[in-house]
Structure 1
């Protein structure tokens, strides 16, 4: 079992939101990479996804790339993921 850090959404100031709902692997990750390229360092991207694989893909990708995975929050029918660009 992996540990997931859950953050209070109210405490996160999102700079950009990527809606990847309805997309299957690997599209949420590919769109996340592209969206982060447009952001300045330190900015926060919120990713909305319905693909269950995203729960593993985003944290491990962040670890490999040096971006900071801030956590996730379950919503009705999808998950919100938060990433701070390195």
Structure 2
């Protein structure tokens, strides 16, 4: 089961920066839910995922914000 990373209350660029840092320590194939109420996240998170070789499994509007299910890409190993 994927963890939930609550980033509500943070504004651009913090949701992407914190997601990037969190995903560094994950293994390829691991999944992570991101929850945010930053309106720019609907643009920023998908761009981050694509640029870093991860997968955006789902993106959905929820009450008061948005949530994303991300899967860490195989080409991005955990930090050593």
TM-score by length of 1: 0.79
Unaligned runs of 5+ in 1: 1-12
Tell me how large the CA RMSD over aligned residues is. Answer: 1.0
What is the Cα deviation at residue 34 of structure 1?
0.9
1:40 to 27, 32, 36: 27
Runs of 4+ in 1 over 4 A off after TM superposition: none
Unaligned runs of 5+ in 2: 74-80
TM-score by length of 2: 0.85
Partner of 2:49: 62
Deviation string 1:37-74 (CA, Å, 9 cap, x unpaired) is: 12111011100000010100111111111001112122
